[in-house]
Homo-oligomer: A and B are copies of this chain.
Amino acid sequence: MSRMSREDQPVAEVVDLGPLASSLGFLFRMGQIEVFDMFYDTVGRLGLKPGEFSVLWAVHLNPGVRQGAVAETLRIKPAHMTKLIRSFESQGLIARHIPAEDRRGIELRLTDLGEAFVNDNAQAFFSYARQEANRLTPEEAAQLIALLQKFTRLGGTP
């Protein structure tokens, strides 16, 4: 019989990580993987990927936004953004519009279909967030979010 952790994972061997286990970068990575797993167990089954949904969400909240602005805010690289937007366009979720004043930029809007999709899924998308923090007390979760916002400079109106 191999050792089992109480919950799920077989723990074959304990691997000591030393100071790595206190390194911010490593912990962010682990946290993200953890959240991603939870996300998949709950919401992700049917075509709702975090990165993609966040783009739709940003366009939903900022109709007419230029695609570069979304990319910069979500820190998606332009090359990747082009692919995402083109894909959304071909799925009929986003409409691209080149304004006459400045034909370089591209204004983005959700189509009716896109709006419907976001409205249908926003609830589920954001509710997994509560689930995911159940290893922390509500106070700890709030504190963690506040610290992350400060670190990433995404604080509410600083």
Q: Is the CB of B26 within 8 A of A28?
A: no
List the B residue with the shortest CB-CB distance to A37: B75
Q: Is the CB of A25 within 8 A of B13?
A: no
In the bound assembly, the distance between CA atoms of A58 and B20 in angstroms comes to: 9
Residues of chain B within 8 A of A20, CB atoms compared: 54, 57-58, 126
Q: Is the CB of B129 within 8 A of A153?
A: no
Q: Is the CB of B30 within 8 A of A35?
A: no
Q: Is the CB of A151 within 8 A of B126?
A: no
Q: Is the CB of B129 within 8 A of A151?
A: no
Interface residues of A, CB < 8 Å — how many? 63
Q: Is the CB of B32 within 8 A of A25?
A: yes
Residues of chain B within 8 A of A50, CB atoms compared: 25-26, 29
In the complex, which of the residues B30, B32, B35, B149 contacts A21, with contact meaning CB atoms closer than 8 Å?
B149
Q: Is the CB of A19 within 8 A of B135?
A: no
Residues of chain B within 8 A of A135, CB atoms compared: 150-151, 153
Can you list, as one digit per residue, whether each of A32-50 has a CB less than 8 Å from chain B (1) or not (0)? 1111100100000000001
In the bound assembly, the distance between CA atoms of A158 and B65 in angstroms comes to: 47
Q: Whole-angstrom distance from the CB of A1 to the nearest CB of chain B?
A: 15
What are 9 residue pairs bridging A and B, where the CB atoms are less than 8 Å apart in the complex?
A13-B65, A15-B65, A16-B62, A21-B149, A22-B149, A24-B129, A31-B152, A135-B150, A143-B143
Listed in ascending order, the chain A residues whose CB lies under 8 Å from chain B are 9, 11-13, 15-36, 39, 50-51, 54, 57-58, 61-62, 65-66, 68-70, 72-75, 126, 129, 132-133, 135-136, 140-141, 143-145, 147-154, 156
